[in-house]
Amino acid sequence: MRCWQARSRRPTRSEYTLRMSDASPITEQPLRRIDGVARSSNTFRKLQAHLRGLTGKAIADFGMIEEGDRVMVCLSGGKDSYTLLDVLMSLQRAAPVRFELLAVNLDQKQPDFPKHVLPEYLSALGVAFRIVERDTYSVVQRVIPEGRTMCSLCSRLRRGILYGIAEEEGCSKIALGHHRDDIVETLFLNMFHGSQLKAMPPKLRSDDGRHIVIRPLAYCGERDIARYARARAFPIIPCNLCGSQENLQRKHIKRMLAEWERDDPGRTERLFRSLQNVVPSHLADTRLFDFAGLARDEAAPTPGQVNSR
C-alpha cells in the first residue's frame, strides 16, 4: 500500500511541502477581514499555505493517510474541526495518494443545538457527510453530579459511538481536530493530575486494535487556526455541555500556557518539540531504560591516556 510520501518516487521534504502548500482553495467564502487584513490579501494566503504545509508534514511524518484510505473526519462545529475538514479537502487535490473523506457529526442532543447548521454547510460544500443522533447529553446529566466535570464520561460515550460509525461506514482512519496546543495541554494535565509523562499522540491505535485515530493538525497552533476560522467565516456552533464548565482543569492549563507564551514567545512550540526529542536515559522510568544494568566500562581510557597501536 502506498503511503502519503510516495507516488512513483518519494518526494523530498521541500518538494512535498511545496506541493501541499500550493493546493488550491476548496471554496469561495464571503470576504472577511482577519486581524485587520482582508481575506484576499497575501497575509491570508500565507496563513492558508502555512496550515496546509504543517498539516501535510504531520501526515507524512506519522504516516497518517495511505493509498485508498476512507477517512472519517469528526466534525463538532468548532473552529478546529472545521479547519481540519477544510484543509484535508484542499490537500486531497494535491496529495500523492488517493483517499476519501466522510464528515461525521454526532448530535448529542444538547439544549439549543442548531441542527440545521452542519447539514446546510456540508451540503453546500459538496462533501459526503453523515449526521448521527445519540442522546448522550441526558446520560451525562443523569450520571454526573452537578458541578462535577462531564468531559471524561462524555468523551468515552462519544468515542464509542464514533468507533461504531467508522466501522459501519468502512472508514480506515478517524481524523480528529486536536492541534499542537491541545497536545501540550494534555501533557501537563497528565503530569499534574495523573503523574504520567504522557500527551496526546498524533496517531493512535484503539485499545481493541480495530481503529486508527489521526490528528493531522498536530503541528498547527491554536492561534493560527482561530485566525483561519474567522477569515473563512465558518458557522461556529458553541458547546453548551463541556465548554461552558468553568472549573475545567484544561482551562487552568490553557491560561498557564498563555501566560508563558506572553512572557516567552515560542515556548509552546518548544514544549511540543521536546515530545519529539525524548531521552529515556535521562528520565527515571526503569521500564524504558535499564538503569540497574548500568556499570562502569573498565575498558574505557582514562583521561589523558594515549591509545597505542
Q: State the angle between helix axes of 136-143 and 151-169 in degrees (0 to 180), rounded to the nearest 10.
A: 150
Number of independent structural domains in the chain: 1
pLDDT at 158: 86
Domain containing residue 44: CATH number: 3.40.50.620
In sequence order, the 6+-apart residues with CB closer than 8 A to the CB of 37 are 43, 44
Q: Is residue 264, in this structure, part of any structural domain at all?
A: no
pLDDT digit string, tens, across residues 36-86: 445 557 889 999 999 999 999 999 999 999 999 999 999 999 999 999 999
Task: Report residue 111's pLDDT band, with 50, 70 and 90 as the boundaries.
Answer: confident
DSSP symbols for 270-308:
HHHHHTTS--GGGS--TTTS-STT----TTSPPTTPPPP
In a domain, 56, yes or no: yes
Confidence of residue 91 (pLDDT cuts 50, 70, 90): very high
Residue 296, in any domain of the structure: no
Q: What is the pTM of this model?
A: 0.84
Which structural domain range is residue 62 located in?
A: 18-180+199-240
- Cα–Cα distance, 113 to 86 (Å, whole number): 22
- Angle at 8 (CA atoms; ends 60, 173), nearest 5 degrees: 35
Kindly state whether residue 267 falls inside one of the protein's structural domains. no
Greater pLDDT, 230 or 152: 230
Q: Is residue 122 part of a domain?
A: yes
When mean pLDDT is compared across 103-112, 123-132, 180-189, 271-280, the lowest value belongs to: 103-112
* Distance between CA atoms of residues 70 and 198, nearest Å: 29
pLDDT in tens, 3-44: 676 443 344 444 344 444 444 444 444 445 544 445 557 889
In contact, 78 and 237? CB cutoff 8 Å? yes
Q: What is the pLDDT of residues 127-165, one digit of tens each?
A: 999 999 988 888 887 887 776 767 777 778 888 999 999
Do the domain assignments include residue 303? Answer: no
Look at residue 6 and tell me if it is in a domain. no
pLDDT for 30 equals 44
For the segment 166-190, the average pLDDT, to the nearest whole number, is: 97
Q: Indicate whether 253 belongs to any domain.
A: no
